[in-house]
Amino acid sequence: MNLVLVGFMASGKTSVGRRVARRLGYRFIDTDHFIESELHCTIAEFFVSKGEAHFRELESRLARRLSALTNTVIATGGGMPVQPGNFEALRKAGVVVFLNAAVEEIVQRLERDTRRPKVQGGDLREKVLKLHAERLPVYSQADVIVDTKGKAVNRVAGDLIRQSAEAMRTRAQSDAQSAKPQSA
Ligand code: S3P
């Protein structure tokens, strides 16, 4: 059983995911960090040298590998669930949880950010509003939606664990069921 965190850039997936993993005794991976360690460069550098389309291919390939993990909290890059077929791959990997952060908080957190190529140059608020509106319908298909507005990491982690408990139980049962040998 895995927990897969989706949501916009700077919505707290990595910090909340780490905290949740610690509390549940799960492993933690962040798909951006995983890709960066395989590439030996940062995502921002990769966008410049190879382009976004190439990054999205790697990201989609990774999304399909995640179902091999167990007892892991997976923080995904903000664009991962949006690529065709990826949301289904994430659902296969585990219970999908959307961290729903307020646009104003996202803009504030991204103001001094130089690591995220999608929001560099031009009007930050405009970019965030546009991308957010495009992606919200995708994120909202998650099994569980956790509202993060005005909450500290610890509080979000607690809410996430509480709100996901039922979905995790149901999922663990159906995983156990499909692992059983079928009687003739
Ligand atoms: C992206 C989000 C980033 C990273 C890349 C593209 C996006 O991850 O994957 O810069 O398209 O939203 P975070 O959501 O961890 O910032």
pLDDT digit string, tens, across residues 50-78: 999 999 999 999 999 999 999 999 999 99
**88: amino acid identity, one letter:** E
C-alpha of residue 33 to centroid of ligand 1, in Å: 11
* Cα 44 to ligand 1 centre (Å): 10
Tell me which residue has tokens 């923080």: 75
pLDDT for the residue numbered 112: 86
Q: Show the ligand 1 pocket: residues with CB < 6 angstroms.
A: 9, 13, 32, 43, 77-79, 116-118
3-state helix, strand, coil in the chain (%, to 5): 60, 10, 30
Q: Give the range among 71-80, 156-165, 168-177 with minimum mean pLDDT.
A: 168-177
**Ligand 1, from 32, 83, 138: best to mutate by most atoms within 8 Å of Cβ?**
32
Q: Percent of the chain having pLDDT more than 70?
A: 99
Q: Which residue's CA lies nearest to atom 11 of ligand 1?
A: 79
Query: pLDDT tens, 127-152?
Result: 999 999 999 999 999 999 999 999 99
Q: Cα separation of 9 and 149, whole Å? A: 14
Which residue among 4, 48, 99, 118 has the greatest number of ligand 1 atoms within 8 angstroms of its CB, and so is best to mutate?
A: 118
Tell me what the pLDDT averaged over the chain comes to: 96
